[in-house]
Structure 1
Amino acid sequence: MVKLYEGGAYLINGTELIPEEDSAKIAALTGNTVSKEDAAKGTIAYSILEAHNTSGNMEHLKLRFDSMASHDITFVGIVQTARASGLKEFPIPYVLTNCHNSLCAVGGTINEDDHVFGLSAAKKYGGIFVPPHIAVIHQYMREMMAGCGRMILGSDSHTRYGALGTMAIGEGGGELVKQLLLDTYDVTYPGVVAIYLTGKPSPAVGPHDVALAIIGKVFKNGYVKNKIMEFVGPGVSSMDTDYRNGVDVMTTETTCLSSVWRTDEDTKAYLTLHGRGDDYKELNPADVAYYDGVVTVDLSAIKPMIALPFHPSNTYEIDELNANLADILRTVEKEADQYTGKSGVKLSLTDKIVDGKLMVQQGVIAGCAGGNYSNVMMAAHILSGKDCGNDVFNLSVYPSSQPVYMDLVKKGAITELMTAGATIRTAFCGPCFGAGDTPSNNALSIRHTTRNFPNREGSKPGNGQISCVALMDARSIAATAANGGLLTSAESVVDGYEVPAYEFDSSSYERRVYQGYDAPQAEAELVNGPNIKDWPAMSSLTDNIILKVCSKIMDPVTTTDELIPSGETSSFRSNPLGLAEYTLSRRDPEYVGRSKQVNELEKARKNGECPLKADSELEKAFHALRLYLDQPELKASETEIGSVLYAVKPGDGSAREQAASCQRVLGGLANIANEYATKRYRSNVMNWGMLPFLLDEEPAFEVGDFIYVPDIRTALDGDMEKIKAYVIRNEEGNPIQEINLHIADMTPEERAIVKSGCLINYNRDKKENR
């Protein structure tokens, strides 16, 4: 069904794959000899990247994007950062949507204040403002902004419009700030992996099933990590564009950099329907194209899937799960024990087995993945004349935009769903990150949404609360709902139904969306609510630094949801210090207090006070260093003091820059990792002035120990392959231990940003030196 090539391959005429070791066959097939280097230029990805690269060097890209998008838990910080860096107007179309903090019910006026700020920013700087409940960010961009051959940057990890021929990238806010200031997105030319599709999905298989089948094969081995997934092959045309969108948005869960699909007449029809037929152009690989890897997918062999907690890659066929319920569910319960730790909370799933079948407590179809027109129409058809029941199980459906909602009403789908007992909501991303439809304690929710990380559905193990999410396609969720909550594959209910053509009505956009691009009102004032705060001042990097280990996380992967929880914390995303109070709150609740203590020492040092007088542990550390290094003149007053977080593989998941900025405003100066899960998290770390250290061996330090790194500015000017550091153990009699840190390649701009202390400082310094 899904297979991976061990090496690279050539695609001939878009239909025949030749493994790299058999490249001699190419001349016989084509009559030409093509070098690997030239064939690598034949991908769709290469042509798009080349058109947007400003460096003149395709090995080291400096990209400018055609447009950008943010939502209401990221755009305030982005605008504030850009404003502090000298922003005058938005130089490209910038869409500010309001689909994450839509529910203005918690935190007083905070959420609506952010919306008002966003509208005022769109007026002042010339932006596009999409009010709450009108559309989720990615559906609006699909309908109104994406086009063949374009590039879009978004401050949400699921910024993916590849099915429309657009290479889109989700990044932290700092990268969007650079675009607003006419700087570039800098990245080494990425590998390109072909996703070669054949066959046609069965009527029971939806886009989530296809996506989960792929994610289950490529996530754990990092096959497409930081690469571009290029969807090619005859199977592409077996799916309409709405279906392809549903597959494409989930490519984020593979940790790829971006995605792009070959385009066809259905792509053209989609764009034409949305009034943008001129944005279509045919995109196909060249007659001979080389790919760094290949994933072959036989769409006809895919069956309805489920991704069990706690990751979209934890995949099974629904039939396989049902045949081995107790054994598989026990493995999930054991994994839950790792997340709940010492809280004493236990997740129980095996007790949900009723007469050999799994009873779930909730179903959700929502957002950029599940709320698409065809998904909801299929769910409505399956539930037509059925009954969700009046017991614990409940079903919620969130259409992805007002135009989609309007056509679902016209087609009668909303009536069918409501008659069956489902509740219908407006366009909102809340169920995807724990701010909507939070399940009850110890409940299992099945969702056609993007993620099922721990705590993302609203669990708080520290408060005795835990629940979990499994990902499924809308078709099987509807089948389960029709069966009263007993887990059911859509294979048991599908028939010959074909979804009627979508009829797009733009009237809600025309009446409610503020279109201010190219018309900034410089005299307009930004409207700041009482919770909207500026970023605190951050100092530039000193020559020598000393780090106190404030958290050590040995989990295989640490997600951004663990670094800074989603859900109810969203109301504080416009208040850097307020939000920072939640850093690692569900993983290491003591981290904030430890980091604050370190930050107080650094504040004392910057104020000309001796930090050693305030902390005996720091005084002992410097005393030990002076003796060990034979440097009696080593001065604490000239050594920056900061906290450091160690995690094996941090940053899987969201693009939210707050996962890094919260560390920084608490005094964070570095991360140490075995590897970084995503480029976007590492970029966030650097844009907030923290050092992205790597450590190959097991960490020889514990929480409370100090790590001294001399001559770090000099190291940043070098190859960074061996950076000597010294661990000062916080125990009697333990000598200082030398360790070797290193840093993966950084661009000159990234090195300068870290030296400056953060992106704001870097831009300010650059402006002053002009």
Structure 2
Amino acid sequence: MVTDEFSDAIREFEHDGESYTMADLTVLEEQGLCDLDTLPVSIRILLESVLRNADGEMIDDDDVRNAASWEPDVPDVEVPFTVSRVVLQDLTGVPAVVDLAALRSAAERTDVDPTVVEPEVPCDLVIDHSVQVDYFGSEDAYEQNVELEYERNEERYRAIKWAQQAFDEFNVVPPGTGIVHQVNLEHLGQVVHDREIDGEQWLLPDTLVGTDSHTPMIGGIGVVGWGVGGIEAEAALLGQPITMSLPEVVGVRLTGDLPDGATATDLVLHITERLRQVGVVDKFVEFFGPGVSQLSVADRATISNMAPEQGSTISMFPVDEKTLEYLELTGRDPDHIDLVKEYLEAQGLFGEQEPEYTETVEFDLSEVEPSLAGHKKPHSRIPMGDLDEHFPALLEEQNVVDSDGAAVGSDVDTGDGALVADRGLDLDDRVPVELEDGTEVEIGHGSVLVSAITSCTNTSNPSVMVAAGLLARNAAEKGLEVPEYVKTSLAPGSRVVTEYLEAAELLEDLEELGYHVVGYGCTTCIGNTGPLAEPIEAAIDENDLWATSVLSGNRNFEARIHPKIAANYLASPPLVVAYGLAGKMDIDLENEPIGTDDDGNEVYLSDVWPETEEIRETIHENVSPEMFEEKYASAFEGDERWEALDAPTGDVYDWDSESTYIREPPFFKDFPLEKPGVENVEDARGLLTLGDTVTTDHISPAGPFSEELPAGQWLSERGVEPYEFNTYGSRRGNHEVMMRGTFANVRIENEMLDGKQGGYTIHHPTGEETTVFEASERYREEDTPLVVMAGEELGTGSSRDWAAKGTDLLGIRATIGKSYERIYRDNLIGMGVLPLQFAEGEGWEELGLDGSEHFTIEGLEGGLEPNAELTVTAEYDDGDTTEFDVTAQVDTPAAVEYVENGGVLHLVLRRLLTSEAN
């Protein structure tokens, strides 16, 4: 398996009477290739993968030397990284299943055995992104939401169940089990694999990629793993190494202790803010120093989870005694835990490490204070005590109110020529709303309409979940209640959370305040908030209210949580409950009362906040290994609904041309064996001109949509009623819906339209305003290629493969931005779309462009080179031109090959078909 040069590095390893094979890193050190003590831990794990898989064909001796050459001033070399497993969630997993099925159909059409398309590495798909919070605040909320989940997603789930029987090593964790990253942390992650490979029993580090950007959460137990788009994950599944530039590694040295009253959530919001300031995009981050030992593994995982918000590829902690204790607590086999320690010790990977780093950042835990993040960026931290000033300032900035809190408005024509002042609402104004049950409430700017304990980030951590339960208990004892207009929910990341909350008798306290379990999934954090009460939504629209949400999640991008809620805030679970009780965000909880008790006395947050020691004792007394063993014993079995699901069988998927959920995508139809290559882009038009921080939510929204939008129109034309539309996320197995939803977020702003929000554009040269999809269709009929221009951080956010697939299907040949988020950039490359970057200091605004020009991209006629310098000529209608240079953000020869083949899956399919033909 390994080339002759490094064959000595393959040796036997004895443990407890068993003999294993391992790729020994210390041999490379003996050969003078590296000094292991100076290499960051993550780089050593990459090196082990390259060494173990160096077969002289896909990975050769030079690749081993390149991986071993890491130093703080990182060499400009590439590394082919082969992961040990892949993790999928259902919103991104369904498109992966559809693509794999489409690859098999393409193979069958060319008279090749379709089973040539087969995963080469184990894969786990966790169904966790589809449950919505339609029902809440009642004991049967969970059952009702799950029933609806199956009704809405039965066809998608059948496709997943088909894949489970069609492909080897494809495991499915059914609905109602937990959130993918928490299930990964508590059960799927092994730290070290004991695996049979080619008849030999090998030991190797647990490594993975996942189709969700928060996959790095597994770094909390010392596992190298990060989020990729479904496209790249599918290629990894099919045995394609992930070719990457050797990364810079930033070390974060932790010192001190968290102060009382500060939670792991507060810590992660501080670190996220700090690392965004440092700039860690495309970099690995490792935590070390004396402060690491002060953090539980759950706290570490909370930090690692938010690697994408920090900007890093991974955020990783060492494997130490606390890691082993966590493996024991979560029910892992004791023999395996011993094996983990012995193997990692043999590789020099166990315990505290202080290697060399590209850059070292100092962080003092003692400086952490209670905080939130908002109103639309997870790295925009706000000290809790500043919320009362933050929110009025936000509304002033948005021109909703002036500096005195008075409404800002404009004169309105009454229809008879008279003008009246339409001032809207002052900051302190409240409007009466009568709910469906007759209850009367009052809401205004800043009212908290959603208070959700949700997301893998925090529900994985007993300290903050128990704190939320204890705060609820203390609040309930004082007679505090959550206002009727607040939509409350509790979505645990695994069933173990419910188990220990029940054991501590805290679940009933949370339920008393309305925080009943609504499902075991991402819910609010992914945008599956469900509807607000109709009178509430009507009041928002009628009064242009800046309503708010507070959630214990990791994402709060515009229109992600709910399209009607303008400002969203991330906070720890206990603070979620606190702001739910307060019912508003423009409040200083350090100095203002949260409410009044039964006797009318003011109650402050400090009166109900639990003591640190009480939280620790509650965890110690109520969280046990038996809980994890019991709840995960049947993780792959599912409930009676899953068992009763009638799924198709066979090696090739039986496509239904009438389906509105699962359709064969066009990517591999009429598939040529010759690669298409690349050529200059001639006479292209601009489809959108965008600003900074356009997220993958803006590009490919996951939430609900209306019948007025192109996706809704397509479904309506096929007899689907609006209440059956479900969400974009649930329709990701249908390219017809998804390409119509691309660049269709209700909050996206195409700068061609002077402030108008939504998926609209100008068709040139007619000058007509239309939807992005309609314009793209007209350009397609005219055989006109398209480009999109943007500012900084294009594609930040979730690892959403449809953000790239939809870009491709709209006919966009290239995007041109000031900078890119890694996953979106790689997904574009994976679909054969060119991500181009303006020169330093330039952008479409600086160059005087507005998107109406004709664009020609030159420098591709001789083929594409890594990081190629290309020239773009923008020609105006009067014949004048602006010429500027761009850099192709295609970093490696492998990435070039993806673009030249039209995409990475096209390359893999071409290789498979060619191999079988020969």
| Same fold? TM cut 0.5 | yes
Match of 1:81 among 90, 99, 120: 99
CA distance in 2: counterparts of 1:687 and 1:51, whole angstroms: 26
- Equivalent residue runs for 1:46-445 within 5 Å: 46-53=43-50, 54=59, 55-56=63-64, 57-58=66-67, 59-85=77-103, 88-103=117-132, 111-126=153-168, 127-148=170-191, 149-160=205-216, 161-219=218-276, 221=277, 223-273=279-329, 274-277=331-334, 278-279=336-337, 280-281=340-341, 283=349, 289-322=355-388, 324-325=389-390, 328-330=393-395, 333=398, 350-351=427-428, 360-372=448-460, 373-385=462-474, 386=476, 387-437=480-530, 441=540, 442-445=546-549
Deviation of 1:255 after TM superposition, in Å, equals: 1.1
Structure 2 counterpart SS, 1:102: coil
CA distance in 2: counterparts of 1:169 and 1:335, whole angstroms: 40
Deviation of 1:448 after TM superposition, in Å, equals: 0.7
The answer as to whether partners of 1:157 and 1:655 remain within 8 angstroms in 2 is: yes
Deviation of 1:598 after TM superposition, in Å, equals: 5.0
Shift of the 718–315 alpha-carbon distance from structure 1 to 2, 3 Å rule, reads closer
Q: Which moved more, 1:402-411 or 1:174-183?
A: 402-411
Shift of the 392–590 alpha-carbon distance from structure 1 to 2, 3 Å rule, reads closer
Structure 2 counterpart SS, 1:734: coil
Q: Is residue 753 of structure 2 the alignment partner of residue 724 of structure 1?
A: no
The answer as to whether partners of 1:547 and 1:644 remain within 8 angstroms in 2 is: no
Shift of the 248–276 alpha-carbon distance from structure 1 to 2, 3 Å rule, reads farther
Q: Is residue 808 of structure 2 the alignment partner of residue 674 of structure 1?
A: no
CA distance in 2: counterparts of 1:113 and 1:336, whole angstroms: 48
Q: Deviations over 1:46-92 (max 9, x none)?
A: 21111122532214111111211111111122123234445543322
CA RMSD across the alignment: 3.5
Shift of the 331–137 alpha-carbon distance from structure 1 to 2, 3 Å rule, reads farther
Match of 1:551 among 687, 694, 697: 687
The answer as to whether partners of 1:116 and 1:527 remain within 8 angstroms in 2 is: no
Shift of the 672–719 alpha-carbon distance from structure 1 to 2, 3 Å rule, reads closer
Structure 1 counterpart SS, 2:214: coil
Deviation of 1:526 after TM superposition, in Å, equals: 4.1
Deviation of 1:288 after TM superposition, in Å, equals: 5.3
> What residue number does 2:195 align with?
none
Structure 1 counterpart SS, 2:372: strand
> What residue number does 1:473 align with?
572
Deviation of 1:248 after TM superposition, in Å, equals: 1.8
The answer as to whether partners of 1:363 and 1:395 remain within 8 angstroms in 2 is: yes
Structure 2 counterpart of 1:660, one-letter code: A
Q: Deviations over 1:358-398 (max 9, x none)?
A: 76343211120122333221101111142333432343211
CA distance in 1: counterparts of 2:322 and 2:779, whole angstroms: 61
Q: Which moved more, 1:496-505 or 1:371-380?
A: 496-505
Deviation of 1:524 after TM superposition, in Å, equals: 5.3
Match of 1:590 among 736, 747, 760: 760
CA distance in 2: counterparts of 1:77 and 1:665, whole angstroms: 15
CA distance in 1: counterparts of 2:323 and 2:150, whole angstroms: 44
Deviation of 1:549 after TM superposition, in Å, equals: 3.2
Q: Which moved more, 1:70-79 or 1:489-498?
A: 489-498
Count of aligned positions: 680
Structure 2 counterpart SS, 1:506: helix
Structure 1 counterpart of 2:561, one-letter code: E
CA distance in 2: counterparts of 1:213 and 1:391, whole angstroms: 32
Structure 2 counterpart of 1:414, one-letter code: L
Q: Is residue 912 of structure 2 the alignment partner of residue 764 of structure 1?
A: no
> What residue number does 2:17 align with?
none
Shift of the 570–326 alpha-carbon distance from structure 1 to 2, 3 Å rule, reads closer
Deviation of 1:674 after TM superposition, in Å, equals: 1.4
Q: Which moved more, 1:106-115 or 1:159-168?
A: 106-115
Structure 1 counterpart SS, 2:291: helix
Structure 2: stretches of 5+ with no match in the other structure:
1-31, 51-58, 68-76, 105-115, 133-145, 192-204, 403-409, 413-421, 431-441, 541-545, 591-604, 639-647, 705-727, 751-758, 762-769
Shift of the 719–303 alpha-carbon distance from structure 1 to 2, 3 Å rule, reads closer
Structure 2 counterpart of 1:757, one-letter code: G
CA distance in 2: counterparts of 1:97 and 1:514, whole angstroms: 12
CA distance in 1: counterparts of 2:852 and 2:486, whole angstroms: 47
Shift of the 83–162 alpha-carbon distance from structure 1 to 2, 3 Å rule, reads same
CA distance in 1: counterparts of 2:211 and 2:902, whole angstroms: 22
Q: Deviations over 1:419-464 (max 9, x none)?
A: 23322222111211211256654321111101111111121xxxxx
> What residue number does 1:563 align with?
699
CA distance in 1: counterparts of 2:459 and 2:654, whole angstroms: 32
Deviation of 1:488 after TM superposition, in Å, equals: 2.9
The answer as to whether partners of 2:451 and 2:489 remain within 8 angstroms in 1 is: yes
> What residue number does 2:200 align with?
none
Q: Deviations over 1:615-634 (max 9, x none)?
A: 5xxxxxxxxxxxxxxxxxxx
Deviation of 1:672 after TM superposition, in Å, equals: 0.9
- Equivalent residue runs for 1:424-503 within 5 Å: 424-437=517-530, 441=540, 442-459=546-563, 465-483=564-582, 488=589, 493-495=609-611, 496-497=613-614, 498=616, 499-501=618-620, 502-503=623-624
Deviation of 1:119 after TM superposition, in Å, equals: 1.7
Deviation of 1:348 after TM superposition, in Å, equals: 8.1
Deviation of 1:600 after TM superposition, in Å, equals: 5.7
Q: Return the TM-score normalized by structure 1.
A: 0.81
> What residue number does 1:746 align with?
891
Match of 1:653 among 760, 774, 797: 797
The answer as to whether partners of 2:817 and 2:843 remain within 8 angstroms in 1 is: no
Structure 1: stretches of 5+ with no match in the other structure:
1-34, 460-464, 516-520, 605-614, 616-639
Deviation of 1:579 after TM superposition, in Å, equals: 1.1
Q: Is residue 860 of structure 2 the alignment partner of residue 708 of structure 1?
A: no
Structure 1 counterpart of 2:122, one-letter code: P
Structure 1 counterpart SS, 2:304: helix
Deviation of 1:657 after TM superposition, in Å, equals: 0.9
Q: Which moved more, 1:482-491 or 1:159-168?
A: 482-491
Deviation of 1:414 after TM superposition, in Å, equals: 1.0
Structure 2 counterpart of 1:95, one-letter code: D
CA distance in 2: counterparts of 1:191 and 1:667, whole angstroms: 35
Shift of the 204–349 alpha-carbon distance from structure 1 to 2, 3 Å rule, reads farther
The answer as to whether partners of 1:147 and 1:164 remain within 8 angstroms in 2 is: no
Match of 1:665 among 765, 790, 809: 809
> What residue number does 1:684 align with?
827
Deviation of 1:286 after TM superposition, in Å, equals: 7.5
